[in-house]
Amino acid sequence: MPELPEVETTVRDLNFIKNLIIKKINLYRKDIRYPIPKKIIKISKNQKILKTYRIGKYIIINLDNLYSIVIHLGMSGRLKLLNRNQKLDKHDHVELLLSNNQKIIFNDPRRFGLIDILKTPFLKNSKYFLNQGIDPFDKMFNANYLYKRISNSQSNIKAIIMNQKIILGIGNIYASEILFDSKISPLKRGRRINKGEAIKLLRSIKKILLKAINNKGSTLRDYSRIYGTLGNYQNIFKVYNKEGDYILVNKMRGKIIRITQNGRSTFYCPLFQK
């Protein structure tokens, strides 16, 4: 599933569409995660794009009629940039025709993504963003906030940092990498995390996510940038998907193991993560 770094990379790649006009939207499949509202065709037609940004893992495209297109990539979704005359591929479900004779394509083999259109002033009150946590790069995301949300929790720390009601954008891949960087075991309960560990965890969250963004995200299966190029962060994973490998830290070799937590694979090194 595309996580914060992949969504941020996609948003940055889309910056060029600012001030372009959406000439038309074509819907080729309606049975993805939620039905795509037909009104998106009429509301978006001939509207100027004012801004693209993200809220957590959601891509937002603001239009000049005070509506916004909301996109979630789900498990396998991605956006592609094509010239107007290029043919569509299998699983290309939505087509945004732009005024520069290019088009943005929403491709989603597993169909867990979503596309919606909402009134911009009411975005934060929509079902997608109610009761959400804080973005890792928001000024409000600090050690006090993190420690407060962690310290009374009986959940394991991996589940806590993946909880979108606490922190936005962290998924399974980066949770393993973040916890290795902070030297915290994914099995450790939130209530057993002290303030010093919370500070280290905060630093690791920002560090790993920023490093992944700078490497254009991670390509494991479906994700690629809008131009078709791949992310690079998968080439520098420390523990994710490295079961059985050994890692050297301070001249000590630790073995990476895989466990299952909440139905998801977790990779970590018990020697270095306590």
- Tell me if residue 136 is catalytic: no
Catalytic residue among 3, 6, 95, 197: 3
Query: Which residues, at least 6 apart from 148, have a Cβ–Cβ distance to it below 8 Å?
Result: none
* H or E segment to which residue 96 belongs: strand 92-98
Question: By C-alpha distance, which of 85, 94, 91 is closest to 40?
Answer: 94
Check 2, 5, 136, 186 and give the catalytic one: 2
49 CB-contact burial (10 Å; exposed 0-12 / middle 13-18 / buried 19+):
buried
Catalytic residue list contains 95: no
Q: Collect all residues with Cβ–Cβ distance below 8 Å to 146 and sequence separation of at least 6.
A: 167, 198, 201, 202
Task: Identify the active-site residue in 5, 54, 57, 78.
Answer: 57
Q: Tell me if 16 sits within 8 A of 37, measured CB to CB.
A: no
Name the active-site residue from 24, 33, 189, 264.
264
**CA distance linking residue 245 with residue 150, whole number of Å:** 30
Q: What residues act catalytically?
A: 2-3, 57, 264
